[in-house]
């Protein structure tokens, strides 16, 4: 029963939450879900209370991705559940039971979401700067590596070039984030710059790493591109959950941008290699 699982998750999260305000919010959510569970227990008396792997998985997700993501992830199925509740209410003959279910539906629609919107986490506050660093690094460094396919057969040179360009771009992006955040009283300009810079360097290092483990440019570029797509999928899905956005089109759009940039950079690199005859110098 979903209500009991959600109750168990909120209860365990509350036990582990050090922030008093967040703990109280989690306790409210837990109490609310337990009330919902007691209602549905009447119709499923054979249900046995037990903790499942789902509870431990949510605790792990909380540790890795933060509280806001965890709660939003739990609530992504709510619109479907609400419709099911409404359909079930039509079959209730008792006005009292129907009233109880309507109250539960109202809880699901408003209370839980209003509770979650009160949670203020640093990772969410600076999410836009983290995504900015990741997205820009993925597109730019994928383009750099693709461009070097037409210039050199040396994976070492391509990998080092990616790191050098990425490091310089990370400083530039961090400075831009700092200046942008100076006009935002809700965020620290310093933390915004750090979040952007670290995200950029992290992405650059990950995408450049295949070039230091193989001497085959095609293999290195293929692995790097796969890592870029996986990284894009990760932060796109995170943003889709936290900010209630659609995942599929945003992900497809990002992948198209990465591939288009890489293709354009490859053609440009080929042209430069042919015009200046430099390909032979970088083997």
Task: Report the C-alpha gap between 78 and 244 in whole angstroms.
Answer: 12
Same-domain pairing of 134 and 263: yes
Radius of gyration for the alpha carbons in the chain, expressed in angstroms and rounded = 25
23 lies in a domain?
Answer: yes
Q: What letter would DSSP give residue 225? A: H
Give the structural domain span for 223. 122-278
Predicted pLDDT of residue 233: 93
Same-domain pairing of 201 and 161: yes
283 lies in a domain?
Answer: no
Closest CA to 116 of 29, 18, 239: 29
Task: Report the C-alpha gap between 55 and 69 in whole angstroms.
Answer: 15
Question: 122-171: per-residue pLDDT in tens?
Answer: 666 677 778 878 888 888 888 888 888 777 778 888 899 889 988 998 99
Question: How many Cβ atoms sit within 10 Å of the Cβ of residue 30?
Answer: 20
CB-based contact 55:5 (threshold 8 Å): yes
Same-domain pairing of 130 and 100: no
Question: Scanning the structure block, which residue is given the tokens 């499923």?
Answer: 44
- pTM of this structure: 0.77
Same-domain pairing of 93 and 143: no
Predicted pLDDT of residue 217: 86
Same-domain pairing of 101 and 134: no
> E strand or H helix at 234, and its extent?
helix 217-242
102 lies in a domain?
Answer: yes
Phi, psi of 48 (to 5 degrees): -105, 130
Same-domain pairing of 65 and 147: no
170 lies in a domain?
Answer: yes
Single residue among 62, 96, 116 that ends a domain in this structure: 116
Same-domain pairing of 153 and 263: yes
Question: 220-240: per-residue pLDDT in tens?
Answer: 999 999 999 999 999 889 888
Same-domain pairing of 199 and 60: no
Same-domain pairing of 89 and 178: no
- Please identify every stretch of the chain with a pLDDT value under 70, giving residue numbers as ranges: 1, 43-51, 77-81, 84, 87-88, 90-95, 98, 108-125, 276-283
Predicted pLDDT of residue 154: 83
CB-based contact 282:157 (threshold 8 Å): yes
Predicted pLDDT of residue 226: 93
Predicted pLDDT of residue 281: 46
Predicted pLDDT of residue 130: 81
């Amino acid at each position: 029963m979903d209500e009991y699982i959600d109750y168990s998750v909120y209860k365990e999260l509350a036990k582990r939450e050090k922030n008093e305000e967040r703990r109280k919010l989690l306790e409210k959510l837990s109490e609310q879900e337990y009330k919902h569970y007691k209602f549905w227990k009447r119709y499923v008396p054979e249900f046995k209370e037990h903790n499942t792997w789902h509870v431990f998985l949510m605790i792990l997700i909380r540790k890795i991705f933060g509280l806001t993501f965890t709660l939003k992830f739990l609530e992504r199925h709510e619109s479907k559940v609400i419709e099911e509740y409404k359909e079930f209410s039509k079959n209730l003959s008792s006005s009292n039971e129907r009233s109880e279910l309507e109250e539960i539906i109202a809880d699901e629609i408003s209370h839980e979401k209003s509770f979650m919107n009160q949670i203020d986490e640093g990772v969410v506050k600076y999410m836009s700067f983290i995504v900015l660093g990741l997205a820009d690094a993925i597109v730019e460094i994928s383009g750099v590596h693709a461009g070097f396919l037409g210039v050199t057969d040396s994976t070492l040179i391509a990998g080092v070039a990616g790191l050098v360009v990425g490091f310089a771009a990370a400083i530039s992006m961090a400075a831009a984030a700092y200046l942008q955040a100076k006009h935002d009283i809700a965020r620290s300009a310093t933390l915004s710059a750090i979040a952007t810079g670290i995200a950029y360097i992290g992405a650059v290092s990950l995408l450049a790493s295949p070039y230091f483990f193989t001497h085959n440019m095609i293999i290195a570029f293929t692995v790097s591109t796969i890592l870029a797509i996986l990284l894009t999928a990760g932060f796109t899905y995170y943003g889709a959950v936290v900010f209630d956005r659609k995942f599929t089109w945003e992900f497809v759009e990002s992948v198209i941008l990465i591939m288009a940039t890489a293709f354009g950079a490859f053609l440009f690199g080929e042209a430069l290699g042919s015009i200046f005859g430099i390909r032979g110098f970088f083997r």
